[in-house]
Structure 1
Amino acid sequence: MHPKLVALHPLLRAAAGLLLVLAGAVLPAFAQDRVVLQLKHTHQFQFAGYYAALEKGYYRDAGLDVQILEGADGGAPEREVLAGRAQYGTGSSALLLTRLSGKPVVVLGVIFQHSPHALAMRQRAGQGPDIHNLIGKRVMLGPLRNGRVEADELVAYLKREGITLDRLRHVEHSYDPLDLVQGRIDAMSIYTTNEPDYLDRAGFPYDVYSPRAAGIDFYGDNLFTSEHELNANPERVKAFRAASMRGWQYAMNHQEEMVDLILAKYSRRHDRQHLLYEARQMVPLVQPVLVEIGYMNPERWQHIAGVYADLGLLPKGVTFNGFLYNAEGGLDLVWLYRVLGAAAALLLLGAAIHVSLLARERRRAADAIRAGEERFRTMFEASPMGIALIDDVSGAFSDVNPRYREIAGRTAEEFAHHAWLDFVYPEDVAGWTVLMQRLVAGDIPEFRTTLRLVRANGATVWVEASVVPLETPRAGPHLKLCMIEDVTDQKESEALIWQQANFDQLTQLPNRRMFLDRLQHDIVKSRRDGTRIAILFIDLDHFKEVNDTLGHHQGDVLLVDAARRIATCVREADTVARLGGDEFTVILTQLRESDRVDTIAQNILDSLLAPFQLGQEQAFVSASIGITLYPDDAASVEDLLKHADQAMYAAKGAGRNRFSYFTPALQVAALNRMRLTNDLRSAVKGEQLKLYFQPIVHLKTGRIHKAEALLRWQHPQRGLVSPLEFIPLAESSGLIVDIGQWVFNESIRWVQRWRRMVHPDFQVSLNQSPVEFQREGGSYDVWLRALRQADVPGQAIVVEITEGLLLDASTMVTDKLLQLRDGGIQVALDDFGTGYSSLSYLNKFDIDYLKIDRSFVRNLAPESNDMALSEAIIVMAHKLGLHVIAEGVETEQQRDLLAAAGCDYGQGYLFDKPLPAEELDAQLRAQAGAVTEP
């Protein structure tokens, strides 16, 4: 304020005001004046108060039509306001330099009581937090303009710490946190409201250094205008400032609403999570509860001027008259001098009422103070954020608002008799204590942390706490402002998402993702320690039968119990995981000797052999385990898993219920299987498959009544490939379905010919793979339609199945057997007596033939056990109305014994080996020309 104005008696000002009223002096109307507010950066929560003033109609109520423009750089507001293209702008404390360089800018109000400007530096192993670690490092400090780094408070901070700019490797600022995360620089200037969120999301370790730690405390964003605007439109300036501050008060009390407004109407450059982060970080900087928004202290500006003087940018002791806006508005001196004469005439009148005015002024000041306190108390009590004042020495609470008590789950009386640490979860006390000690010591200007509070009922609640020191005289030296938000739901959601992403929902074991992560970690540790790792790949044997017979629910019960049994066989440091289905894996770490692996694998096998109690039923399964070692067998995760899988299949092939180590031979065999499977895919189209037929002879007459179709593969390079080698590959790859259809089509063609030329009741038997029979959605409609088109009755075909299929009593199996019966196709039970034999099968299902396995026929002799068993099977079958076919008949004695026992048919090398279709056709035509049977 001008010194001459300060010298005027208050009475003179009152008199001048009275003259204005008497003279009817009225300022021009400014209803719906169009003005421009120029921001210094792009739209984000940093400018939320202006969006609120516009959205809530505060500018409109003040008669203003406001346009808010983004800034391309920090210098845009000064350029636009001084050029008259904008009437108002937002700027940093460098506005002081602008004013003292002769440019007529006027600060209307301070938004950020503390600057968010700070330095972020990468944490280094073995280095504690020390600003001097910056020396010699690559640093993005600020933009270069006119040969000067425009980061004044940071430059001053470094100077006070004894670090000059020539000791840094200055890099042009990109404002991209990824440059710090990816190591292109070692430190960068940041806003504490912005970049830390992105660094935290990236999981990047960093330290933050604030100029406030060195006693350099600049104001942050400031609302300013020009002297031209102030002189030409003083009431408009006053109205714009008041509406803006009102908008800021609303924005800080309605953070989520303002975030949604920014995303909807201004910018989607930042996501909602980031904007809320920025809002939370602004609370301790703006201090909307403790300080009236817009308040600025001339002494703070003098402090800022002193910092600039230390940098050599200003002379010491500089004054800045006219730089700070006075909302009460001083009178223009020229106008004042014009009315001095008239004012003097009123001095006598003023003297008469002087005492009255002073009393009224005191009352008004007291009312204003009381109203202000009530307003701020109301804001404190109604704040959506928990707020408390804490003594950093005793930890006692000085004041607590209702939201804080609600979050902490404590009564006002409990807060009165307890210290802060009494409510903190025990495991979080140490971390909180360290941060508070650093704050008190001045190592950090403030801090933010996430921790748990214990409520009175024993429940815990996660809170995000921000702590800043109070700097008002009334607060005392030890009071700290603590603000908390309840983030329990967020923490629980994060924990649930993490659990679902990393653990199997059924067994609660680590899933494939967690297993791979742990294996990768264990490999790194093993490489460092020089130890070995064993990976056990476990597959449950016969688990599908449990699922199919007892249902998937009981199958899940078995899997949970199996997971528990496996886990009890290993150490806590080892990992047991479920990859899916009935596949489990185990990682055995820090192995010095491999002998222990054998013991653990055998213990797992033994534990799984014990019966599983599933409701009223018991189930028995075993396991096949493949084992591979790191680094002996492979160096990568992918190869280790592949080798363990190959070893597991070797264990299955060797008879199950055993473990097998990986060997290079397994890899060779796996490659051969893969190549053979690939060749098999083209075998059907390439006409490499051949159908052979082995005659089935009627034992009484010696004539051929039937033939079994047998598949052969004439490989172009390997020659004749055994069915024992390629049928399992066809089953595992799914090719068996197409191959089975080809066999059926060929069989129809030949049986049609033989029923016409040899005998009208001639039959061909087809071996049906369990994979074909059990596949979901499969049916015999295609077969039955093909038989009708060829005019061949269903009785021309006999489908041979194994006893194992009848173990599956599911509806699907029953329905398919019924479909075969309804189509006239007969069923033979192959290898009878060697599998899970049960007489109930023969009574439950429609079976036409029993085939006595060659293992009984091979040792047939009078009075032998095999003879007794064969006779029993024949008698039983005939009693049930079934026919019997004996396989593997190779001698005349075997044939005679079987015929004497009443066996219907024989099949084996005594009669003939499997023949190409053309050769059997010739035999049958020769037989047809002979004497027909009686």
Structure 2
Amino acid sequence: MITDPTSSASAEAFQIFKEVFFDSLPLPAWCISGCGQEAAANQHWHQTMSVTPSTPESLWVHWLHPEDQARVHEAWGQSSAHYQVFHQRVRLVVAAGHYCWFIAYGYFIRARNLWLIKFIDIDELQESRENITQHLRMYKSMLDASIDCIKLINLQGELIDMNLSGCNALGVPPDSGFGMDWLNLLPPEIRKRGRQALKLANTGRNVRFSGKSQLEKNKPFYWDNILTPLQDAEGGVTSILCVSRDITRLHQAEQRFKYISEHDELTGLPNRRMFNTTLKKYLRQAGYQNRSLALLLIDLDYFKLVNDTLGHPAGDYLLKVVANRLKKSLSGDAFIARIGGDEFAAVLPGIEDTQALLGAGYKLIADTAMPLTYQGQTIYISLSMGGVIFPQQAADSTAMIKAADIALNELKKNGRGGVLCYDPVMSDAVDATRGQMELAKQLISDEAILPFYQPKVRLEDGKIIGLEALMRFFNSQGELCFPGDIWSAFENYALMERIGYIIRDKVFADIRCWIDNALEVVPVSVNASPVEFMRDNYAEKVLQQLEHYRIPPALLEIEITEHMFDGRGAGYVFRALNLLKAQGVRISLDDFGTGYSALANIRDYPVDVIKVDRSFVASLSKGKEGLAVIKALWLLATELELDVVAEGIEDAGQRDALIREGYQLGQGFLFSVAVPSEVIAGFLKNRHTFSLLQYPVNS
């Protein structure tokens, strides 16, 4: 150990250490005696560093960048005073005349009573680090500029990072450091949905769900959230990227349309569509709870007489008063709707027998029947009601409505006013169903089912752009008949599968004939029934028939209805439609707007075209109410980037109104009824010059 660094022995030991070991170091280095009187740099230092104007006795700190000097001097003084390891990032001036980054690492060698400080070049590493920092800063700026809310979440659901839009939406300070539970930042009603999405994303699946955020005293925002798993090289999920897009305007449009499509403008009561949906919900709840409920169909007697004698304003006033009285008379868990011109329907939970149903009905009559005065005229109110009880008398919504309607009609046959409960002897529905099924079997056996075609046209000029194939047949008297005459068969898979096959086979044969005759063939749509998807082979059968007739898939369009996506076998429907789309077949959603479930989820449905239900086109005659519905439907279709076809156009006024609202395609009796294939062939010969505005086919 060197005890006296000023002695010649100490200086000699210092010199030997420098020559034998120190100068051979492959790094720039300094050695300094314990008392600081001896200091020297090795050869590598002199080769690397710039020559400074300082004296040769100057220590390495004179090569420091001015901005580093105070920090490094303080750290070096602390280490040298307490013989602690010295470790700092420093900038030193090198031979080229500029500063480079080094790690200065020093430690005290007690056996030699000296400090050894080595300098490790990290300039390239520091440059890379600064580049990465700059890129990260730019990336952060880009994310903060996005209007989408972008979040990085760990597998436990904690926020790792979030852009400025996300911070503003969730009320999180950007400098919070994050780490909080993402789900706890969402409204309680959304957390379960978010938790399920996060769980699926943790398994490596992309997930999409609708969300919501709301800061205190502010209006809520609605979001379309997409969760994307981020994976390492081995495929393991390391974190979740959540991108949330503001869909508040679309949500508001859906809500506006939902209200318009589900409520009666005059009375404010739910309309027939909402009634049908709500009745099914009540029946599901009653089935789960093993409880009864009743349905009353209510007719306002002599309503036409009021319109005819006092005018429609008086009739409207009467309807509003009756609606309010019915609503006030019902208990809190009951449901009332206006389902037609002078028709109402009430769902009454807890009614278990006929006596209770009669009592509830007569209470409604008593609470509603007080006469009213309109412009000095007294209007007397009389109600007729037909009722049915679930599950004793009917097992589902369709059967209940039919049974209640039968009872109401039976009551009106024998005089109006009062309440009548359903009795099975009133109905011959079973016989009618049996007759329809037998007729369907005979038609299948004889292959007597025929396709007729209704043209789809360009509204502007009446040019044919497509066809819809519709089922027809002739009865034994040679009369043309419609699908309603065998409607019961459409609920039977065995019959509907054969009917569907026959229709497609004849449609494809017609298309093949038109192609072979060099006609300008347009796409043809074929309707599909829900039960046809029950065996999960619908797409394969359709594609096999197309191949047999050598028909390009682009000439086929399959029409489905929106409730098929929510009913039994919905998974088969999705699979079949996706397979058909992959082969080039287009998918059309018929009766669009008649069920709200599609409005919430249609962006996820595999459809190309929506067909606006004829009831909405007919509502154009109602003025602003009908026009509002048509506008809302077109806006939704445009937002979803889908083609839209208006159905049931019967007069030029409807056509003109649709054109003004942006509609381009349509079909209806204004242009043509459904006609045989021979007539269609004549249309196709001169398709580019023939217009159904000039030559409408209405018989």
What interval of TM-score do these two structures reach, taking the shorter chain for normalisation?
Answer: 0.3 to 0.5
User: What TM-score do you get using the length of structure 2 for normalisation?
Assistant: 0.40
User: What TM-score do you get using the length of structure 1 for normalisation?
Assistant: 0.31
